[in-house]
Structure 1
Amino acid sequence: MTLYDEIVNKEAKISLIGLGYVGMPIAVAFGKKAEVLGFDISKEKVALYKKGIDPTKEVGDDVISKTTVDFTSDAERLKEAKFHIVAVPTPVNDDHTPNLKPVESASHTLGKQLTKGSIVVYESTVYPGVTEDICIPILEEESGLKAGVDFKVGFSPERINPGDKVHRLETIVKVVSGQDDESLDIISKVYELVVEAGVYKAESIKVAEAAKVIENSQRDINIAFMNELSIIFNKLDIDTKAVLKAAGTKWNFLNFSPGLVGGHCIGVDPYYLTYKAEQVGYHSRIILAGRQINDEMGHYVVENLVKKLIKANVPVKTARVGILGFTFKENTPDTRNTRVIDIVEELKEYGVQPLIVDPVADENELKEEYGLKLNTMEDLKDMDALIVAVGHDEFLNLSFEQLESFYKDVPNEQRVLVDVKSILDKKKYLASGYNYWRL
């Protein structure tokens, strides 16, 4: 009987290590087919899950309250499982080098509890070589076991898109890999229990690792191109959105838009790839150029806001500025690596302390990670300027009159409106005399 058979017969457990935006939905999905142990070092997070509360809003409170997943922060309980999935964050340091501490820490924790016959699958995004060169040695050291003999290791890059209710774990083809044919076969079968779209067997762990980082690097480069076009067209006094709409009528035109590029993947993964490239003697040109453009967009947005304030005869230093949205993308509470923080920091350079309104963002995360507090819609009074930074549904549904009520009682020519996401009716605001600008 293989480990796959034991899992199907509920004689062996699956563990999920890391219960964030990626790990928790995976745990819940497997919980419908197998015995699952959900582990996270955060006792507070585990307590919420046990109460039936989903702080990530990825699957919802109702699903969490009904799931059979056994949530725990007790690392020793990992001994109960034989198939382990590691789904912890892999951020970058301030100097844009990979921060592997979370995945290394998870490997140390798991290694201490690892038993013979187990399989460990990493889902955390890394550069090619991390699983075999860094994670496996830690597992061997902590467990006293030998990889490939006493336990097996694989890699299956996560493709969960936070806030996306269409492209879910079950509906996205899952890339899987293993250190040998036996482990690859078992890993494939286990994931096929929950992934309706099927699996793709990569020929090696390094291939699977590389596939993940280039997926997001490709998207990052395409958005950087759109951002560069936005800068060019702005200087030419041409509306970027109108240009993209016209170009989009061609069948093979790629549908990307300019904007802030943050989050735990697109704004991070390219640095993992370029870091590894530097180690083997190659300095990236295209990837890093794209990153530089995207990293500077917060500065660019504020630069144009200031120009509009000056045009409206509003003193910049005393301007009351409101920011609608702080999360890294729409309709998700996730603020990790949000580039809206660049707008906030740049405004502070001008002496402006903006009011931040985000009905979706995790308020505690905002305070702990950025030292900021959230305001409410009611706080938006007598504003000189508004920046629509995130396209939350709540902001899409704001009427012209509601938005107008946030401003000072002055002529529209003195009201500045920056629409980063291009979600507002440009013609209407321009016709009304607003100092309107968008990417």
Structure 2
Amino acid sequence: METVTVVGLGKIGLPLAAVIANSGYFNVIGADRNEKVVETANKGISHIQNEPGLEELLYNAWKTGTFRATTDTAKAVSQSDVVVVIVPVLVKEDGKINYEFIDAAVEDIGKGIRKGTLVIFETTLPAGDTRNRFGKRIEEISGLQLGTDFHLGYSPERVYSNRIIQDLSNYPKIVSGDNEKSLELVKSFYKRALNCDILPVSNLETAEFTKVAESVYRDVNIALANELAVFADSLGVNMKEVIHAANSQPFSHLHYPGVGVGGHCIPVYPYFFINKGLKKGLVHLSREVNDHMAKYAVDQVERILGSLQDQNILILGLSFRENVKETTKSSALLLADKLKQRGAIVYVDDPLYSSEEIAAFQVLPYSEAIREKIDAIILQAFHDQYKNFPFDHFPNCRMVLDGRNQLDKKKIEDLGMKYRGIGVQ
């Protein structure tokens, strides 16, 4: 069987490696610089939680010998026919792109690559980076010629946490190559590895642009929903009812508003266009609108409570969204910052995190011992555990801000608390 190295065993890389290793066509080497991740993977144990099917797939691949892990990326690459790169590209506070981790991975690939290897990038990238930044760098380090001695492809990941394995088979795989030969190799690889529909595009840059465009579409449409929700609040109109009614028309696809947008994708990838020269317009404005929602939410709390100085506010959900243990760009952090600026005492509850993990974000971990002190509650991430949250345990709570418009307004108000949603009063 051919050997595949998956570089990066994070929340997408490890499930991808496990699926490929169970395909029946490939032996897989998972490469990661995190020694703990490699150690657990080499026992058939996943370090990623809440990903249905992953534990079974990884254990089976480990048991049958089609998967192993290593911290030595260059050596793994030297033993491989195909290399798949799924290492994160981050955005700094100023919106500039941080290539630190993927640049380091490419250095290792360049040191280990052999003739005939196919290298595929799955990391979301600005258009042009696969060819001009990474392909050229591999050439420089290895001395091999792109398109002749080794082949280059790009196929963006298009999956959603908590259903990655399902999405890998259900979504068409967008594929591209630096030339026709590379494209054929990429198509053949994914057809065997994932047994999914294949959607080829004309070049690497088109595939890169497509993935960023998907995220920008969502950011822009969420911003529209948030802007309309704020306006609906000013008129006393229920935005949830508006959306339900408007979307009964087949050309209307209004998204749902919320307290903000977080994660590795939607609030990050618009900067891949902005930093490539996209001038002021909807993409820029959408980032401003969505990041402003935390301030708007705090304004709503302040209207009910008055001054927030020394008020005890509980945020439900440190994660950026429901049922995922991930804090990247989480609106909880924006909310906590805005609340502290106004003198509030901020507590955070999240069933996916320990008290120590929560405290690392300079907020106070919530415990039952202080429930009578809480003046207001903000729902930020609607984890399954919050579906039956005991709001009746907070006798002095005066309001609940439903940042995801998921709670039962009547139940909240029957407890004598004020209820506010986003576009819902």
- TM-score, normalised by the number of residues in structure 2: 0.91
3-state secondary structure, aligned to 2:294: helix
Aligned length: 412
- The 3 A distance-change label for structure 1 pair 117 and 379 is farther
Q: CA deviation at 1:189?
A: 1.2
- Contact kept, 8 Å, 2:41 with 2:68, in 1: the verdict is no
1:338-392 Cα offsets, whole Å, 9 max, x none, are 1221001111112223111111248777566x45564456654431111111111
Distance in 2 of aligned mates of 1:56 and 1:17? 20
Of 2, 22, 41, the residue aligned with 2:12 is 22
Specify the code of the residue in structure 2 equivalent to 1:331.
N
In 2, Cα distance between equivalents of 1:70 and 1:390: 35
Rate the CA distance shift 1:197–1:252 in 2: closer, same or farther, 3 A: farther
**Deviation sequence 1:96-145 (CA, Å, 0-9, x none):** 12222222121111111111110100011111111111111211122121
Q: Residues 21 and 268 (structure 1 numbering): CA distance in 2 closer, same or farther, change over 3 Å?
A: same
Name the CA distance, whole Å, in 2 between partners of 1:262 and 1:24.
22
Aligned residue runs from structure 1 range 250-399, under 5 A: 250-259=249-258, 260-276=260-276, 278=277, 282-310=278-306, 316-361=308-353, 370-371=361-362, 374-376=365-367, 380-398=371-389
Partner Cα distance (1:115, 1:403) in 2: 61
Of all paired residues, the percent bearing the same amino acid is 28
Partner Cα separation in structure 1 for residue 46 and residue 145 of structure 2:
39
Q: Confirm whether residue 42 of structure 1 aligns to residue 40 of structure 2.
A: no
Name the structure 2 match of 1:72.
70
Q: Hey, what does 1:403 align to over in structure 2?
A: 391
Does the 8 Å CA contact 1:56/1:334 hold for their aligned counterparts? no
Asked if the contact 2:7–2:105 (Cα under 8 Å) also holds between the matched residues in 1, the reply is yes
Match of 1:158 in 2: 157
Q: 2:265 and 2:213 mapped to 1: Cα distance?
A: 11
Secondary structure of 1:35's aligned partner: strand
Q: 358-367 vs 66-75, which deviates more?
A: 358-367
1:160-239 map, 5 Å: 160-164=159-163, 167-239=166-238
Maintained 8 Å contact 2:84/2:120? yes
Tell me the distance in 1 between the aligned counterparts of 2:216 and 2:357. 26
Alignment partners' CA distance in 2, 1:158 and 1:374: 34
| Distance in 2 between residues matched to 1:359 and 1:373, nearest whole Å | 14
Which amino acid in 1 is paired with 2:406?
I
Residues 196 and 427 of structure 1: CA distance in aligned 2, closer, same or farther (over 3 Å): farther
The equivalent residue for 1:54 is: 47
Q: 1:80 and 1:122 mapped to 2: Cα distance?
A: 18
Q: Unmatched 5+ residue regions in structure 1? A: 1-9
Secondary structure at 2:279's aligned position in 1? coil
**Matching residue's letter, 2:378:** I
Instruction: Identify the range of structure 1 (422-431 vs 25-34) with the bigger mean alpha-carbon deviation.
Output: 422-431
The DSSP-based 3-state class of the residue aligned with 2:153 is strand
The superposition leaves residues 166-192 of structure 1 with CA deviations (integer Å, 9 ceiling, x where unpaired) of 852111110000111111111111111
Shift of 1:397: 2.8
Correspondence 1:430 to 2:387:
no
The alpha carbon displacement at 1:429 in A equals 2.3
The alpha carbon displacement at 1:327 in A equals 0.9
Matched with 2:102 is: 103
Q: 1:74 to 1:165 in 2, by over 3 A?
A: closer
Any idea what SS the aligned residue of 2:299 has?
Answer: helix
Report if aligned partners of 1:177, 1:201 keep a CA contact under 8 Å in 2.
Answer: yes
Q: Kindly provide the amino acid, as one letter, of the partner of residue 418 in structure 1.
A: L
CA RMSD of aligned residues (A): 2.0
Q: Which residue of 2 aligns with 1:415?
A: 398
